[in-house]
């Protein structure tokens, strides 16, 4: 495992990269013995410094929960990161392209909890009972570590590559529809680029919420009522450029649009 000084050094490097919208060398290229525990420790220091600076945590993102994303990244283990209040956009928003690095978009569902959720044996049924509603979401990826050759350690350290999310307007309780069959048709500048269905996320998109509750239990923590949980993409990430207009059609859950300026 990495020493506390090295963990803090890397967290500072990532904070600087976020401020400058830069990219640093892979952690695993410099420290090949770094572990998954090291990566969450790095993320934790980065998170706590942001909280101390006044940012407000509103939820968690889960990543790499679908075969599409695992094949796109070469990483087969889910991960998670934190989401702050200043990273949440409404559908129709203009998003500042230069605020992010390696900018890509993913198609997801987000869940808002009405009750706390705690492991160690949380099931899909437990997660569904704790969810207030689901809402369609786009995730904007923001990678501050070079992409080629990265591992789960690199991705987790970089807050699971989370940059921002765009939330739709349609909310559905888990008992109102079978969320497994929510579609996603993702277009850039009027051309369809990616399609998928929410069942691609672990068989049911809320399965990731249960996974996260169990993962948190290992660290003596739980998911709290009111948190937004971004459950993971059921399409491959789509690269975007400044000026691109993005639209995703979620069928019965409406559409999301945004523009990168």
Which pLDDT belongs to residue 129?
Answer: 98
Which pLDDT belongs to residue 76?
Answer: 65
Which pLDDT belongs to residue 72?
Answer: 67
Give the pairing of strands 162-167 and 131-141: antiparallel
160: left (phi over 0), alpha (psi -120 to 50) or beta: left
CA atoms in the 13 A half-sphere facing the CB of 139: 31
Largest Cα separation within the chain, whole Å, is 50
* Residues 59, 81: Cα–Cα separation, whole Å: 9
* Residues 8, 2: Cα–Cα separation, whole Å: 10
Instruction: Provide the 3-class DSSP secondary structure of residue 186.
Output: strand
What DSSP state is assigned to residue 60? Answer: E
* Among candidate residues 99, 62, 87, 107, the one with its CA nearest the CA of residue 209: 62
180 vs 55, 184, 204, 207, CA distance in Å?
Answer: 33, 11, 5, 10
| pLDDT per residue as tens digits for the range 4-59 | 999 999 999 999 999 999 999 999 999 999 999 999 999 999 999 999 999 999 99
Helix or strand run (H / E) with residue 192: strand 191-197
Which pLDDT belongs to residue 63?
Answer: 81
Which pLDDT belongs to residue 69?
Answer: 65
The parts of the chain modelled with pLDDT lower than 50 are: none
Domain residues of the chain, as ranges?
4-260
Which CATH number is correct for 4-260, 3.10.20.740, 3.90.850.10, 1.20.1250.20, 3.30.460.10? 3.90.850.10
Q: How many CB atoms lie within 10 A of CB 81?
A: 21
- Global confidence as pTM: 0.94
* Residues 210, 80: Cα–Cα separation, whole Å: 13
Give the ranges where the chain is alpha helix by DSSP (H). Answer: 4-20, 27-30, 36-52, 67-73, 124-130, 152-157, 207-217
* Residues 15, 7: Cα–Cα separation, whole Å: 12
């Amino acid at each position: 495992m990495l020493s506390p000084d090295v963990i803090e050094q890397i967290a500072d490097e990532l904070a600087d990269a976020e401020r400058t919208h830069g990219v640093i060398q892979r952690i695993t290229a410099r420290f090949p013995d770094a572990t998954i525990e090291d990566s969450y420790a790095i993320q934790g220091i980065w998170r706590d410094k942001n909280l101390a600076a006044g940012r407000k945590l509103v939820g968690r993102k889960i990543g790499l929960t679908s075969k599409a994303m695992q094949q796109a990244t070469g990483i087969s283990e889910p991960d998670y990161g934190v989401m702050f209040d200043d990273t949440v956009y409404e559908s129709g928003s203009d998003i500042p392209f230069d605020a992010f690095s390696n900018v890509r978009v993913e198609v997801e569902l987000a869940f808002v909890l009405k009750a706390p959720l705690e492991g160690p044996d949380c099931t899909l049924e437990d997660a569904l009972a704790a969810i207030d509603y689901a809402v369609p979401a786009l995730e904007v990826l923001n990678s501050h570590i070079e992409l080629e050759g990265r591992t789960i350690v690199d991705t987790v350290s970089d807050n699971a590559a989370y940059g921002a999310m765009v939330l739709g307007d349609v909310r559905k309780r888990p008992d109102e529809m079978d969320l497994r069959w929510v579609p996603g048709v993702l277009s850039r500048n009027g051309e369809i680029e990616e399609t998928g269905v929410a069942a691609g996320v672990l068989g049911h998109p809320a399965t990731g919420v249960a996974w996260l509750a169990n993962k948190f239990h290992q660290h003596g923590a739980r998911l709290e009522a009111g948190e937004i949980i971004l459950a993971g993409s059921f399409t491959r990430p789509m690269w975007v450029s400044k000026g691109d207009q993005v639209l995703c059609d979620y069928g019965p859950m409406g559409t999301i649009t945004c523009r990168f300026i």
